[in-house]
Amino acid sequence: MQNKVVVITGATSGIGKALAYEFAGRGAKVVMGARTHGKLVEIAEDIKHKGGDVAYAQTDVTKEEDCKNLILTAIDVFGKIDILINNAGISMRALLEDVSIRVLKQLMDVNFWGTVYCTKYALAHILKEKGSIVAVSSIGGLIGLPGRTGYSASKFAINGFMESLRTENLNKNLHVLMAFPGFTTSNIRNTALSADGSPQGESPREEEKMMTAEQVAREIYSAISKRKNKLVLTTLGKSMVLVNKYFPAWLSKRVFKTMAKEPGSPFR
Instruction: Please give the single-letter amino acid code of residue 245.
Output: K
The catalytic residue positions are 151
Per-residue pLDDT averaged across 62-91, rounded? Answer: 98
Measured CA angle at 241 (ends 96, 135), to 5 deg: 75
Nearest-CA neighbor of 172 among 122, 229, 126?
A: 126
Domain ranges of the chain: 5-260
Cα separation, 127 vs 138, in Å, equals 26
Q: What is the DSSP string of 89-139?
A: ---B---TTTS-HHHHHHHIIIIIIHHHHHHHHHHHHHHHHT-EEEEE--G
Count other Cβ atoms within 10 Å, centred on residue 169. Answer: 16
Confidence class of residue 34 from pLDDT cuts 50, 70 and 90? very high
Mean pLDDT of the chain: 93
| pLDDT for 240 beyond 70 | yes
CB 74 within 8 A of CB 55: yes
Q: What are phi and psi of 18, to 5 degrees?
A: -60, -40
CB 15 within 8 A of CB 39: no
- Model confidence over 118-133: pLDDT tens digits? 999 999 999 999 999 9
Per-residue pLDDT averaged across 151-180, rounded? Answer: 97
Nearest-CA neighbor of 227 among 91, 132, 153?
A: 132
| pLDDT for 141 beyond 90 | yes
89 vs 200, which has greater pLDDT? 89
Instruction: Please give the single-letter amino acid code of residue 242.
Output: L
* Structural fold of domain 5-260: Rossmann fold (3.40.50)
Nearest-CA neighbor of 4 among 72, 66, 83, 93?
A: 83
